[in-house]
Amino acid sequence: MFIAGLGASTIPAHADRDIVQFGSNIHVGRNSSVHDTVCFFCNVDADGTVQGDIVVFFGNVHVGTAANHDVVNFFGNIVADNNAAIGQNMVSMFGVVRLGDNVTIGKDLVAMFGNIHAAETVSVGGDRVQQPPWIFWGPLFIFVAVIILVVREFRNHRRRAFLRNYPFPPRP
């Protein structure tokens, strides 16, 4: 009875003009406007205006005209056309950022473990932070190489110990 009362008293969530997709690309037409777009394993192609945030995991983002809040991408690329505007922050993790001429970013531009290719006319209102990919991939590569060598030597040691006790060649 108590649980039924709690269920009846909850306030429903409203997501007017929000688009959330898993595996299906999101396209915002030239004369269209949406609020937030969230995409998992797909791409966002925003030729129109996105009033809120664009968040993409394992896909690419294309901003044609305007994204009025944040653009966040994990493991994909961000492309902003000429004269595009991002109202707040642009964050890219493990991807490439390509910005055309006269692109404006309201606050910060952050590219962690990726590259930024930007025209000279790009305007960033806050900080521009870039961590090159080798800072992550270099130590990871060394760590994996050490693990492979340790496992290889351990297997060779076990093989030699086994063969040491085996009568080789076999007796007739």
More confident residue, 63 or 1: 63
Q: Which range of residues forms the domain containing residue 61?
A: 12-132
Which of 6-10, 22-26, 51-55, 166-170 shows the lowest mean pLDDT across its residues? 6-10
- 75 with 144, same domain: the answer is no
- Tally of domains within the chain: 2
- 140 with 126, same domain: the answer is no
- 32 with 111, same domain: the answer is yes
Kindly state whether residue 80 falls inside one of the protein's structural domains. yes
Whether the predicted pLDDT of 5 surpasses 70: no
Quote the CA–CA distance of 73 and 90 in Å, as a whole number. Answer: 8
Angstrom CA distances, 62 to 34, 79, 138, stand at 15, 5, 29
- 126 with 167, same domain: the answer is no
Model pTM? 0.73
- 141 with 124, same domain: the answer is no
**DSSP 3-state assignment of 170?**
coil
CB within 8 A of 29, min separation 6: which ones? 47, 48
- 32 with 95, same domain: the answer is yes
- 111 with 154, same domain: the answer is no
Whether the predicted pLDDT of 106 surpasses 80: yes
Quote the CA–CA distance of 138 and 5 in Å, as a whole number. Answer: 56
- 66 with 145, same domain: the answer is no
**DSSP character at residue 102:** T
**DSSP character at residue 35:** S
- For residues 90-106, give the mean pLDDT: 92
The pLDDT score that the predictor gives to residue 147 is: 95
Quote the CA–CA distance of 153 and 137 in Å, as a whole number. Answer: 24
The residue type at 170: P
Kindly state whether residue 2 falls inside one of the protein's structural domains. no
- 22 with 80, same domain: the answer is yes
- 59 with 124, same domain: the answer is yes
**DSSP 3-state assignment of 111?**
strand
Mean pLDDT across the chain: 85
Kindly state whether residue 113 falls inside one of the protein's structural domains. yes
- 58 with 109, same domain: the answer is yes
Distance of CA 166 to the CA centre of its chain: 54
- 44 with 16, same domain: the answer is yes
Q: Please work out, in degrees rounded to the nearest 5, the angle formed at the alpha carbon of residue 41 by the alpha carbons of 38 and 45.
A: 55
For residue 87, give the H/E element and its range: none
